[in-house]
Structure 1
Amino acid sequence: MKFGLLTFNTLFRGDSRARIQALGRILDESPYDVVCLQEVISPLNLMALRRATRSYPHVAHGPIMPLVHGGLVTLSRRPITRRYFRPYTFVGPARPERFMRKGVLLARVRFGNEYLTVANTHLSANKTDDWSRTNPYAQVEASELAELAGLLAHPTLTDPLVVAGDFNVPRDSPILREFVGAAGLRDMLGDDPATTYRPTAELPYPKPIDQILASPSLRANTSLVLRDEVALPDGRFMYLSDHYGIAAEFL
């Protein structure tokens, strides 16, 4: 099964509508069969995205009122035969993320006579950049990963599986490694230490917190994309997000 996949956190803050429109134009001319997006929180942003991505006739997302649940949207050029959104149980410190209903969006995609299940997810943020087991935010992420592993172990999920998104957990974290082992997945980026989050003065050396994981039977070449400034509809140039995208070409 050969296909291209992209995961990208679109960043809801700032000029999100204009950036979504610019992203949509880029995606419409891209080679990706499936696109997993995070932080498409506004229903109006979702509408703008759909208008700009006519080459993706199939879409999956959760309920969209009053906000797109989880901010998760999966676009596909191949038919999506089943969609399912599940929010993570809210635990740990009080935080505004509760209103996003972060969770996982499953989409079963048909490639001819074969099927692939794509899990698009966005985990809770770690406000301290401390992923030790005693950290309360790391404990929240570990709880969400345990829920995700339990969902992916459901006996009806028999297709090859790709899990992609903003995990907010770095690639070298024991929390993520334990999840990968428990879910029977393989990290498509291996031990690549390159960050997926745009460095800032406050955070000059960020960790790689966006991931693409897959069933062991799948192989892929990966690369970081969407790193440069792009033209917005009004002529301004701006970065599309505070994240980079990860593109995977499955072989």
Structure 2
Amino acid sequence: MAFNLSIFTLNCWGIPFLSKDVPVRMNAIANFLAQCSFDVICLQEVWSNSDYELIKNRVQDNLPYSHYFHSGVIGSGLCIFSRYPIIDSLFHQWAVNGYVHKIQHGDWFGGKGVGLCRILVGEHHVNVYTAHLHAEYDRENDEYLAHRVVQAFDTAQFIKLSSSPHEISVVAGDLNTEPYDNAFHIIKHVPGLHDCQDYKSEELMTNEAKSNNYRLMTAASPTAPGKRIDFILFKPPQGVSVDVRDFGYALPGKVEGTDLSYSDHEALLAVLSINFSMKSDDNKVSEVQTLRVNALEKAINVCEEALHDLKQKQLRLTYGVVFTLLALLATHILLPKLLPDGPLATGFNVVLHLSLLLTEVFLLFMITIWHRMEVNGINAGKLGMQLTLDKLINA
């Protein structure tokens, strides 16, 4: 049996109250998808349930099957629409996922992870994965590097352990990592995935692209070429030929009648041709093995450095607790003697004490509960990487 499978992916940039022009763009995305004949659609950053329902209702005729991956405080933002029946679904939330107090970043509140929908195309199962890794806010001083590396390994293991060698697997989403980053090498090489971009000579920039009217909000400079952080990857069934028939941008340049882009990311489309009667001629096993080993060794080093930094961070926070506690005691003893009686002095005293107390509680939380959660999450990733690395080296 042979069949074609078309996959569409887009980060919709649908953050309530923060993303620009959400109602106009979501309506345009829904209209476009309703008019197209894609087999599978993977969307990220659909943070509002009303936006998900809007798209679901609009594409119902062409894509009657859908699934939203609920997680965290505001939902994972991930959803999949399919022309073919979805027969199973599963979501894996990552153990390390940013910081609760970094409200301006917000990744933790989404409960990010990787979602799987298994669809039935004729008599064949197709595993469709979508993910949205932690964003990189500062490349020169990336405080989330270890989190993203652990997320990448978790994703790679999730794909490897939840798919059969005889099934085709497709991964589509915003991985927030560039092709030369170690996190991407882990996602690609550990489970043995192929990048659709490798079948096209021109590299497709998917974020901060020059044609995108939102690029200047985040681009490093007006002349920056953009970044490729959105991907469509696939894993062929063992010994089966899979050909990339088409790969490229999927959306028109602008929403019709406006100068607005559909998102701050570009959408991608891939058409895969799967032929179970033709055998694969892929003989690059040893090369892939070397890439896997290198990626895992680098990732383990990142985790070890992060664990060392966490020890130093815990020490600094401990000093903060001691200092704040002494400040509380000092203000409790000295402040009543320094300030005259009266409503103003009493109010100032209450506000100061409350501020110091809240600071004390926050610091205690960070050096106890949160510190242990982060250490355990990174340690779990590191031990899993070491286990996989040892198996590869001893194979």
Residues 63-108 of structure 1 deviation map (CA, whole Å, 9 limit, x = unaligned): 27963x2100100111111111222122455441111111111000
Q: Which amino acid aligns with 1:151?
A: F
TM-score by length of 2: 0.58
The residue number in structure 2 matching 1:178 is: 186
Q: Does 1:42 align with 2:66?
A: no
Secondary structure at the counterpart of residue 31 of structure 1? coil
Secondary structure at the counterpart of residue 243 of structure 1? coil
Q: Within 2, Cα distance between the matches of 1:222 and 1:156?
A: 24
| Higher RCO (CA < 8 A, seq sep 6+) | 1
Aligned-pair RMSD on alpha carbons?
Answer: 2.2
Q: Are the equivalent residues in 2 in contact too, given 1:40–1:72 (CA < 8 A)?
A: yes
Post-superposition offset of 1:37? 0.3
Aligned residues: 244
Residues 42-82 of structure 1 deviation map (CA, whole Å, 9 limit, x = unaligned): 01111111121122110011227963x21001001111111
TM-score by length of 1: 0.89
Q: Are the equivalent residues in 2 in contact too, given 1:35–1:76 (CA < 8 A)?
A: yes
Q: Within 2, Cα distance between the matches of 1:23 and 1:51?
A: 12
Q: Are the equivalent residues in 1 in contact too, given 2:116–2:127 (CA < 8 A)?
A: yes
Q: Within 2, Cα distance between the matches of 1:172 and 1:39?
A: 24
Residues 174-214 of structure 1 deviation map (CA, whole Å, 9 limit, x = unaligned): 33123311111111111753311134343332220001111
The residue number in structure 2 matching 1:108 is: 118
Identity of counterpart residues, as a percentage?
24
Q: Within 2, Cα distance between the matches of 1:85 and 1:19?
A: 27
Q: Which amino acid aligns with 1:28?
A: A
Q: Within 1, Cα distance between the matches of 2:235 and 2:159?
A: 11
**1:32 pairs with 27, 34, 38, which one?**
38
Q: Are the equivalent residues in 2 in contact too, given 1:227–1:245 (CA < 8 A)?
A: no
Q: Which amino acid aligns with 1:170?
A: E
**1:212 pairs with 226, 232, 242, which one?**
232
Q: Which amino acid aligns with 2:145?
A: A
Q: Does 1:58 align with 2:62?
A: no
Q: Are the equivalent residues in 1 in contact too, given 2:98–2:107 (CA < 8 A)?
A: no
The residue number in structure 1 matching 2:138 is: 128
Q: Are the equivalent residues in 1 in contact too, given 2:115–2:130 (CA < 8 A)?
A: yes
Q: Within 2, Cα distance between the matches of 1:92 and 1:101?
A: 9
Q: Within 1, Cα distance between the matches of 2:98 and 2:109?
A: 14
| Greater radius of gyration (CA) | 2
Secondary structure at the counterpart of residue 197 of structure 2? coil
Q: Within 2, Cα distance between the matches of 1:82 and 1:169?
A: 28
Q: Are the equivalent residues in 1 in contact too, given 2:28–2:255 (CA < 8 A)?
A: yes
Residues 138-170 of structure 1 deviation map (CA, whole Å, 9 limit, x = unaligned): 222111011111211226645210111000101
The residue number in structure 2 matching 1:21 is: 27
Q: Which amino acid aligns with 1:230?
A: V
Q: Within 2, Cα distance between the matches of 1:228 and 1:148?
A: 31
Quickly say closer, same or farther: Cα 1:52–1:213, change in 2 above 3 A. same
Gaps of 5+ in 2: 274-395
Q: Which amino acid aligns with 2:20?
A: G
Q: Does 1:250 align with 2:272?
A: yes
Q: Which amino acid aligns with 1:180?
A: K
The residue number in structure 1 matching 2:154 is: 147
Q: Which has the higher strand share?
A: 1
Q: Which has the higher helix share?
A: 2
